[in-house]
């Protein structure tokens, strides 16, 4: 299933949000959530229905007896990054998830089952009530309050990542993680990679709201997106070093390649998105 999902995700991204095979013609989005237990970014395809500005997604899990992991993830962390095909191009944006309740949920599920009979079948197969989740796009609007809130959150995340990186560097210098076996170094490092990765994935979504709000920011955001892309490639390199063993020297060198320029990236991001903050 994991491998199947991965193939759908890759095809979706390669083809601007279109996939063939069993999902041919189905309205699909990719949802990236934060793992409820792992904390790592998790991406899953899901069928959606556009309801005004929001999207509705259905945690059917094809009628299986348990909710899909992405549903548990968004209950724990409601920030969901959506990738959707628009005119053959991929649009990534930040949303806030709210599960629908009661009559509103029932009506939207019933309408979905009318549009796509597979959903009627999914509900017949399981005794659980299949959740319907509304995804509300982040909009910066006219007021500065929302921009302030996003700014504060971004600065807080940068501070957390800096602190996490400092702890990781200390552990690497010592060759061990305090109170933990040597193997924990690799895990410690992977956790930092996951957090940095998730931070950038969420920012890629939030950038779309900034571009819509202030078109003058487009050149700065293009640079930031390109920097995220470079970091993502280096994160993949580091992950492959980690699977080959946990030698602190090699981990440290791969980590240096990621963090070289990271502080400048954080600073440029804060200064260009929030010049007055
Ligand atoms: Fe960034
Ligand atoms: Fe950032």
**In sequence order, which residues have a C-beta less than 8 Å from that of residue 64 and are 6 or more positions away?**
125, 126
CA dist., res. 154 & res. 149, Å (int) = 9
Rounded CA-CA distance 19/110 in Å is 26
Q: How far is CA 19 from CA 16, 135, 148, in A?
A: 9, 22, 38
pLDDT at 194 > cutoff 60: yes
Cα separation of 40 and 196, whole Å?
Answer: 10
Is the four-CA dihedral 191, 197, 200, 205 of positive or negative sign? Answer: negative
CA–centroid distance, residue 122 to ligand 2 (Å): 40
| Per-residue pLDDT, 14 | 94
Ligand lying closest to the C-alpha of residue 221: 1
Ligand number with the minimum distance to the CA of 224: 1
CA 156–ligand 2 middle distance (angstroms): 10
Predicted confidence band of residue 246 (pLDDT cuts 50, 70, 90) = low
User: In 3D, which of 236, 260, 210 has the Cα closest to residue 92?
Assistant: 210
State the distance from the centre of ligand 1 to the C-alpha of 250, rounded, in angstroms: 25
Report residue 3 as tokens: 């491998």
| Phi, psi of 64, rounded to the nearest 5 degrees | -65, 160
Ligand 1 centre distance from Cα of residue 65 (Å): 39
**CA 252 / ligand 1 centre spacing (Å):** 22
Q: Would the pLDDT of 1 be above 80?
A: no
Compute the distance from residue 238 Cα to the ligand 2 centre, in Å. 19
d(CA 30, CA 46): 6
Tell me the CA–centroid distance for residue 113 and ligand 2, in Å.
Answer: 40
Question: How much is the pLDDT for 188?
Answer: 85
Q: How many CB atoms lie within 10 A of CB 241?
A: 18
Token pair of 235, please?
């994160």
Q: What is the pLDDT of residues 20-66, one digit of tens each?
A: 887 788 899 999 999 999 999 999 999 999 999 999 999 999 999 99
Ligand nearest to the CA of 225: 1
Q: Determine the distance separating the centroid of ligand 2 and the alpha carbon of 266, expressed in angstroms.
A: 5
pLDDT-derived band of residue 271, with 50, 70 and 90 as boundaries?
A: very high
139 in Cβ contact with 150 (< 8 Å): no
Would you tell me how many other CB atoms lie within 10 Å of the CB of residue 31?
Answer: 25
Quote helix, strand, coil % in the chain, to nearest 5.
Answer: 60, 15, 25
Dist. CA 41 → ligand 1 center (Å): 15
Alpha-carbon span 277 to 270, nearest angstrom: 8
- pLDDT for res 186: 81
pLDDT one-digit tens code per residue, 138-184: 988 776 788 888 889 999 999 999 999 999 888 888 775 455 555 67
Q: How far is the CA of 267 from the centre of ligand 2 (A)?
A: 9
Ligand 1 centroid to Cα of residue 161, in Å, is 11
Residue with the larger pLDDT of the pair 5 and 203: 203
**Centroid of ligand 2 to alpha carbon of 230 (angstroms):** 14
Q: How many CA atoms lie within 13 A of 165 on its CB side?
A: 17
Lowest-pLDDT range of 36-50, 199-213, 240-254: 240-254
Q: What is the mean pLDDT of residues 219-230?
A: 96
* Region of residue 67 (left: phi > 0; alpha: psi -120 to 50; beta: else): beta
- The fraction of the chain above a pLDDT of 90, given in percent, is 69
Q: Which ligand is nearest to the CA of 161?
A: 2
């Amino acid at each position: 299933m994991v491998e199947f999902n991965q193939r759908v995700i890759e095809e979706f991204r390669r083809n601007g949000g279109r996939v063939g095979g069993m999902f041919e013609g189905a309205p699909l989005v990719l949802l990236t959530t934060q793992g409820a237990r792992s904390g790592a970014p998790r991406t899953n395809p899901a069928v959606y229905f556009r309801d005004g500005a929001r999207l509705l997604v259905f945690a059917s899990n094809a009628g299986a007896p348990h909710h899909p992991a992405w549903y548990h993830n968004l209950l724990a962390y409601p920030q969901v990054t959506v990738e959707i095909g628009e005119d053959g191009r991929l649009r990534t944006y930040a949303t806030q998830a709210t599960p629908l309740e009661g009559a509103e949920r029932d009506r939207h599920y019933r309408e979905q089952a009318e549009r796509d009979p597979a959903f009627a079948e999914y509900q017949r197969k399981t005794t659980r009530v299949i959740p319907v989740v509304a995804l509300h796009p982040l909009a910066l609007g006219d007021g500065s309050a929302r921009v302030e809130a996003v700014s504060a959150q971004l600065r807080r995340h940068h501070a957390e990542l800096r602190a996490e990186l400092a702890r990781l560097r200390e552990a690497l210098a010592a060759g061990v993680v305090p109170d933990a076996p040597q193997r924990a170094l690799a895990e410690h490092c992977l956790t930092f990679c996951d957090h940095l990765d998730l931070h950038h994935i969420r920012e890629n979504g939030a950038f779309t709201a900034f571009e819509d709000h202030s078109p003058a920011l487009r050149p700065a955001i293009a640079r930031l997106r390109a920097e995220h892309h470079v970091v993502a490639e280096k994160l993949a390199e580091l992950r492959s070093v980690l699977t080959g063993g946990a030698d602190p020297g090699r981990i440290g060198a791969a980590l240096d390649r990621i963090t070289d320029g990271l502080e400048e990236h954080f600073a440029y991001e804060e200064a260009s998105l929030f010049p007055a903050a």
